[in-house]
Amino acid sequence: MPRVGGDQALAVYQELRIRPDATFDEVADRFELSAEDRERCREELAALGLTESTEAAHGAPPARAVVDPDVALLRLLRRERDRLQERLAATSRAHTALEALAGPFLQAGATPRAEIEVEIVDSPERARRSVADLTDSVRTAAHFMHTGSVRREETNGELARDRLWADRGIRIRAMYSRRAGSVPEMAQHLEERAAVGVEIRLSSVIPMNMVLADDNFAMLPTDPFDPSSPSILARGSGLVRSYLALYEYCWTAAAPYGQEAPAEKDGDGLSEQQRAALLMLASGIKDEQIARNLGVSLRTVSRLLSEVMQELGAASRFEAGVKAARLGLLDSEWNDRAL
């Protein structure tokens, strides 16, 4: 059976490694590739960094040098890391612009100052007090997102607040990671919250801690990967509605508490958690940070990546990265999110 698509490129690459003196066209002739297939293979190997152009003497067409797999992987990961750094820099610039808008520009009267307020809070106690103050001020709805377990000393107060809000007809929603829901004490706490009337959902990946109230209060960390980082307090519907849209997206993707099924697999055969681990690996993030981001152990990260390799039919992490790049998985949503 003739080879097609990526199989052709892989066969050409393997032959070039076996025959280092052969040119790309000589190998392509050996496999009887059409002009269209030949160009597709050339572009695919170049895109993966497995071949690179070299200068040819006497005006001849540029030759194609074969790149070792390990070198190609490092370059691929470096490109992904650079892209991530560019996005982080753009986010930082946007944050700086936001602070400028929330300061002198708003004070100048372009927007009423009372409409939008942004504050960076360094004190954890001050942040907790701001959430506690919501008890009396919430009118219609409160929404919570937790990357980990709630501290034991806070659970009783949280239940008391839930009952008070439920009696007032306030809608309460809370999202937790599946790992947090598997802890016995947390599982009991979630059952108690659900019994009061709190809507609870679980997800493999919770991007950050977040508290939203009505459409005019939001609290989230300045660094999503560091729960101990200073908090952003935002007031005013102009900003809070954007955070609420993010919350709604995560809420839709999460599973209702008590109805969780094993993680669904998308069209490429990878579960949500496996895909997240793959994309973070390809972005140059180390296993330890992947474990912290997903809220799992290092052993679980190793298992997830082994499952990714098996799903992609790869014998190594490098091969999994090459196949993921070929399938376009490294350009999908995780690289466009805040990894």
| Under 8 Å between Cβ of 187 and 155 | no
Q: Within a 13 Å sphere around the CA of 258, how many CA atoms are in the beta-carbon half? A: 10
Bridge pairing between strands 255-256 and 199-203: antiparallel
The candidate with the shortest Cα–Cα distance to 60, out of 17, 24, 33, 12, is: 24
Torsion sign across C-alpha atoms 147, 148, 151, 157: positive
Residue-by-residue pLDDT tens, the chain, 339 positions: 344 457 888 888 888 888 888 888 888 888 888 889 888 888 888 888 888 776 655 555 566 688 887 777 777 777 777 777 787 777 777 766 666 655 554 444 444 444 678 888 888 888 888 888 888 889 999 999 988 777 777 888 889 999 999 999 999 999 988 777 778 888 888 899 999 999 999 887 777 889 999 888 998 888 877 777 888 888 888 788 888 888 887 788 778 888 755 444 343 577 888 888 888 877 777 888 888 888 888 898 888 888 888 887 777 777 777 677 666 676 544 444 434
Tokens of 134: 């919501």
Report field, pTM of the whole predicted structure over 0.85: no
**Neighbour-count burial of 199, counting CB atoms closer than 10 A to its CB (0-12 exposed, 13-18 middle, 19+ buried):** middle
Residue 211 backbone phi and psi in degrees, to 5: -130, 125
